[in-house]
Structure formats: C-alpha cells, structure tokens
C-alpha cells in the first residue's frame, strides 16, 4: 500500500485507490498517520471532534475504526495497550520518503556534490501535491506534524535552490525566487538567494534593490533590521566580492533517475545498506525479475556521500564478452575511450588504485567468470574500492557476502 498525505489524503494498493469514507473517517485516518504512534480512544475523540464530541462519539469512533480496518486489512489497524496503532512501513508513506530524500539531498550538498543534491531534493519535492492532508485539514485540530513537514518542505526547497546556484543556474532561478519571496517574505535565506541570483545574472542594481525591499519590509512589519546573512551579502555586492560559480562539479554517481516511487523492500533495503557499508564485496542474488537492480539503485542513493569518489554503475546486460566487460567498466570510471578502447585489468586497477569508489556491476550472471576475475583483481589492488554485483548467481570468490532477494510474500 501507499499512503499519501502530502496533499489530499489518498491510499492506494497497486492501481486501486481505496475508499476511505466521509470527511470524519478520512480525518481519523489522517490523525493515525500523522500521530505515528498508538493513539488512545480519548485522544482520538478529543481530536476528531476538536473538544466538542457528541454523546455518541465513542460508538461513532468504533464504527469508523471498523470500516477502516475492513478497507485496509485487520493487520494494518491494531489495538494495543496504549491505543490504536496504524501499522505502516516508512517507505509506504510519502511524508517519510520525502524526509529520507530531503536528508540525503542535504547531506550531498554539505559534502560538495550539488548535482546529486539537486536530483535528490527535486525528487523529494515532487512528492508534494498540496498542503498536508489538505482535503481534511478543516476536520483536524492544530497539530505539530503538518507544521513540521511544511517547514521541512521549505528547507528542502531552499537547499535545492542552493544546489542549483552551485551549478550555475542563477538566471533560471530569478523568477522562481521572486515569487517565493512574495509567498514567504520573512525567510532571509530566500531573500539572500534572490540577491545572489540577480547579482550573478549581471543585475547588481536589482540585487541591491532587493536588499532595500527586504530592509523596508522587516523594519515596517517587525521593527527589525535584516540579519547578518543579508547585511554581509549586501556588503559583498557593493565591494564586488561575491564568489563566482566554480562550475558544475563531477557528478558523484551515474545512476539513472527513477521515475516511480520505491515501494516495499524496506527490510531488504536496510540490510543491504548495512552490508555494503561493512563489506567490500556484496552479491545481490535472486531469480530474474525479482527486483535486484532497483534494490541496488535505491541502496546506492542512500549511500551517496559515503564514498569520496562516488558511485559508478556498470550495466552489463548488453555486454557480450570479457573485452566488452572491461570496456564498460572503463567507460563508467571515466577512461578515455579514444585512447584506451578495451582496457585490460592492469589499466583498470591503475585508474582505481587511489580511488574511494563503489562499483555496481549490474546483471553479470552471463559473464560470471570474467566478472569474478575482474572483481578479485580490483579488490586485491584497490583497497578503497567496494563492489556491489547483481546476478542470478554468486561470483564464488573470497570475501563475497551474499544477499538473496526473495519474491514478495516469501521469506528468505
């Protein structure tokens, strides 16, 4: 199931959208989702009727809970000692996936990888379809969780703009930032981003005018002067000391952008991330079509910033022989094909010897022997390289840790 609260409340199971009932019943589900822990009957009654429950509130609440349990499944809505608990995995709730992506994006930005940060943060912000449970917000009392998510949304937006500024996209940002400053006039970070975008777009006078507008607004509305961030930037603009864009950095990964949300496999995702962090060679095995590649990609996205020189994907499905294998690895790690068309293992190891990189060798079962030879030599000579392979079978070399992916509904 997928629970969506970043906008109108929705629950889907595959392609089917579940019937959640009327406004009060939908508001009850929103309360259980936002509360994140067991909620007592008294708290639910108080919250659902906002301090003015009718005489039949207990019976009505039981009826709502019964209908939700019937629609969601009895295992989803449990009665515990502390109250009613909605059982969901983190990756089933868009709000929690947003937090994971936003955190990964902020980490990539802090680690000097604005390309990865921009990708992750854009993906996080795409999950928002409107205000938190906007269709039932009037049925709910003031809650801290919607406000917290909205603040995280704004912070993620500002982080994404910082990433775009680091990538030299200042001209494209001016119009967006002008609108954002109107919507959130007291956020100094947005105002400073607007000033910086204008200055780098060769609009120094407009950048200084933006500072003047901010100062006037803060003094008239709050009786305050702008903070150090804005004052320092104004001074740097006047002195022409604003740092220029250094240019796009080398992208820390070559993973493809995923166009759909990753649903399920949360335990396997956590397990695989831990294995890759702790071991230099992990083989992700399982039958064809079980989801090994997507699980490897999602794990890699969680590991961005862990490997100093990034993550390089080598797609082996279209490769037919050992020479094609070495060429594919060479392309992934940046060897110049015009000078080294089919690098041998010594050339590959020389390139990787001082690199701290995670190599993902995807779909290598038809090249098991040459892949095993390549991996064993690389790991033996390049002590800061790690390898994650996806295959229908293990490589069978020393140090290999195997993680077997089972079809949904089956245990390992």
Asked whether residue 247 carries a pLDDT value surpassing 60, the answer given is no
Q: Per-residue confidence at 323, pLDDT binned at 50, 70, 90?
A: confident
Per-residue pLDDT, 199? 96
What's the number of CA atoms in the CB half-sphere (13 Å) around residue 374? 30
**Model confidence, pTM:** 0.62
Q: Per-residue confidence at 46, pLDDT binned at 50, 70, 90?
A: very high
Neighbour-count burial of 102, counting CB atoms closer than 10 A to its CB (0-12 exposed, 13-18 middle, 19+ buried): buried
Q: What is the DSSP string of 107-142?
A: HHHHTT-HHHHHHHHHHHHTT--SSTTTTTGGGS--
- Structural contact between residues 87 and 226, judged by C-beta atoms closer than 8 angstroms: no
Cβ count within 10 A of residue 412: 9
Per the model's pLDDT, the better-predicted residue between 47 and 410 turns out to be 47
Residue range 377-412, pLDDT digits in tens = 999 999 999 999 999 999 999 999 999 988 865 544
Give Cα separations from 343 to 71, 130, 209, 321, 367 (angstroms): 58, 51, 57, 13, 17
In sequence order, the β-bridge partners of residue 401 are 282
Per-residue pLDDT, 116? 80
């Amino acid at each position: 199931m997928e629970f969506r609260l970043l906008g109108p409340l929705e629950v889907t199971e595959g392609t089917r959208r579940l019937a959640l009932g009327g406004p009060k019943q939908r508001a009850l589900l929103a309360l259980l989702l936002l509360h994140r822990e067991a909620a007592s009957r008294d708290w639910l009654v108080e919250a659902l009727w906002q301090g003015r429950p009718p005489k039949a509130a207990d019976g009505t609440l039981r009826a709502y809970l019964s209908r939700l349990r019937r629609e969601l499944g009895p295992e989803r809505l449990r009665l515990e000692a502390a109250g009613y608990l909605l059982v969901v995995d983190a990756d089933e709730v868009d709000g929690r996936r947003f937090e994971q992506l936003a955190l990964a994006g902020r980490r990539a930005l802090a680690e000097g990888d604005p390309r990865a940060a921009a990708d992750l943060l854009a993906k996080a912000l795409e999950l928002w379809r409107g205000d938190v449970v906007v269709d039932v917000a009037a049925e709910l009392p003031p809650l801290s969780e919607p406000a917290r998510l909205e603040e995280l949304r704004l912070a993620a937006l500002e982080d994404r703009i910082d990433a775009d500024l680091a990538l030299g996209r200042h001209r494209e940002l001016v119009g967006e930032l002008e609108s954002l400053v109107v919507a959130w006039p007291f956020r100094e970070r947005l105002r400073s981003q607007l000033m910086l975008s204008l200055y780098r777009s060769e609009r120094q006078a407009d950048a200084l005018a933006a500072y003047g507008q901010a100062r006037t607004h803060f003094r008239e509305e709050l009786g305050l002067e702008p903070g150090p961030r804005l004052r320092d930037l104004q001074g740097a603009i006047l002195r022409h000391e604003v740092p220029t864009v250094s240019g796009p950095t080398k992208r820390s990964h070559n993973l493809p952008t995923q166009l759909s949300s990753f649903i399920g496999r949360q335990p396997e995702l956590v397990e695989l991330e831990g294995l890759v962090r702790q071991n230099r060679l992990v083989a992700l095995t399982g039958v064809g079509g079980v989801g090994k590649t997507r699980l490897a990609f999602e794990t890699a996205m969680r590991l961005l910033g862990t490997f100093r020189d990034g993550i390089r994907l080598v797609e082996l499905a279209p490769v037919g022989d050992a020479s094609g294998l070495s060429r594919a690895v060479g392309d992934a790690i940046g060897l110049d094909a015009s000078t080294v068309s089919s690098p041998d293992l010594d050339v590959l190891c020389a390139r990787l010897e001082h690199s701290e990189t995670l190599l993902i060798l995807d779909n290598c079962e038809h090249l098991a022997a040459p892949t095993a030879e390549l991996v064993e030599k690389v790991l033996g000579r390049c002590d800061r390289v790690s390898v994650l392979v996806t295959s229908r079978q293990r490589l069978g070399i020393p140090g290999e840790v195997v993680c077997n992916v089972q079809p949904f509904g089956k245990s390992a």
